[in-house]
Chains A and B, each alone.
Chain A
């Protein structure tokens, strides 16, 4: 069953600067779909349009062209219904640094849950899940990058959404922290939730994602499972390295030029 349908979407930004004036195409006639319960990876170099895709799916941006359906609903027209159905973990920490972990989750709970008891129970459960119960009364500004990331994921899960959007979930997190976050994501998929992960980390995509979409400059470059993408490389390269890594696949499709 299709959970997300992103159909022929184009999104342009108007850029006004000292040296450049005009429109930048962030997403260019891009189409893909995600099945329910799938972990779908969106890969691309910096500035390739991954965050724009997430913002379009959550209804934060308006597409210039094309049609988006999330759980059969329009993110712009049906935003109020849809926002109960997804959790968002943006690239940067979405936590209030002057508040503690409990208060951050309490605020999220107050937005989505009905009773004070329900809020308290869910907050306690999430703090246990992300292993921050003993640090719950500490201000976020004192947290490490990994702790912030875990709590941000917990915040997105608090209202038990059907879909989770994770924008570079392990950015700046150490190996242990990254593996713990991967465990959470795998757990979500086992619970039947649909997960969209954007990432630059090929090992992450390889470990987590059932299907991948590689984009560059807002265009679709390649799509498929990890095995399909690996086998799509030419014979010549397979001779050089028996089994190419996902890093090789990514670099093959997007090149080695720095984007920023």
Chain B
């Protein structure tokens, strides 16, 4: 099964590369310029030391995966390539995992690349003779958050793309879902009574920051697994064709 997953990833990767080298060749460049050069240059030392970079790594990976995952099945359906893909000897899981993994690799790869490039302006402008690097705990957090964020977007995106008739429809549904996912907790917390908010802040400050990060990553991973399980259950060849 692993070689089949790799074959699907190879095909998907070639398609993504062809897409990015075409009309959309500027978007990864803009992404790396903003998050790998401009923001780190402005923020300086805080960029490598603050836990804010963890939020950024999760958000960036999620955003990058979102930009390509809607195409996974809806794109195959729109281009009429789904029929032959499903009629091939590939198993359901190798198709599904191949598409999810390639999106995760792209999302995390671009995020990590921008974070590595970010070390250049930070060190050039704010290094003061020393070498500024991400502390081990922050580095581990970056890896954890970006993988969990990319996994969340990939499994949710595949689930949406499985049933969408067109890529546009999948993108719209995915955008609304992402907005709900990001804004509901923010506005939800703001809507809480003052006393509750104070208690939450008190509880969070009392707990070790590393534990909070681990708990957040754990929660995201659980969500990833849940969505992946639903996507696996909903992947029915006959329904994909007759839909």
Q: Which residues of A contact B (CB under 8 A)?
A: 13, 55, 58-62, 80, 83-84, 88, 90-99, 103, 107-108, 110-112, 139, 155
Contact = CB atoms under 8 A, between A and B. Distances in A.
18 contacts: A55-B83, A59-B87, A59-B237, A60-B83, A60-B238, A60-B241, A61-B241, A83-B89, A88-B83, A90-B80, A97-B79, A98-B19, A99-B14, A99-B15, A99-B18, A111-B90, A112-B89, A139-B18
A212 to B, nearest CB: 24
Contacts of A61: 238, 241-242
A98 B86 CA distance: 19
Interface of A is mostly: loop
B88 interface: yes
Q: Give chain B's interface secondary structure class.
A: helix
Nearest to B237: A60
Given A60-B87, A60-B241, A88-B87, A94 B81 contact: yes
B86 A60 contact: yes
Contacts of A97: 79
A101 to B, nearest CB: 13
A55 B241 contact: yes
A95 B4 CA distance: 19
A96 B11 contact: yes
Interface residues of B, number: 24
A139 B15 CA distance: 11
The 6 closest A-B pairs by CB, nearest first: A92-B80, A94-B84, A98-B18, A83-B89, A110-B7, A90-B83
A164 to B, nearest CB: 12
A90 B82 CA distance: 10
Nearest to B4: A111
Given A59-B237, A99-B14, 13 more contacts: A61-B242, A88-B83, A90-B83, A91-B80, A92-B80, A95-B81, A96-B15, A96-B81, A98-B14, A98-B15, A99-B15, A111-B90, A155-B84
A13 B242 contact: yes
A55 B19 CA distance: 30
Given A60-B87, A98-B15, A110 B81 contact: no
- Of listed A59, A60, A84, A91, residue having the most chain B CB within 10 A: A60
B84 to A, nearest CB: 4
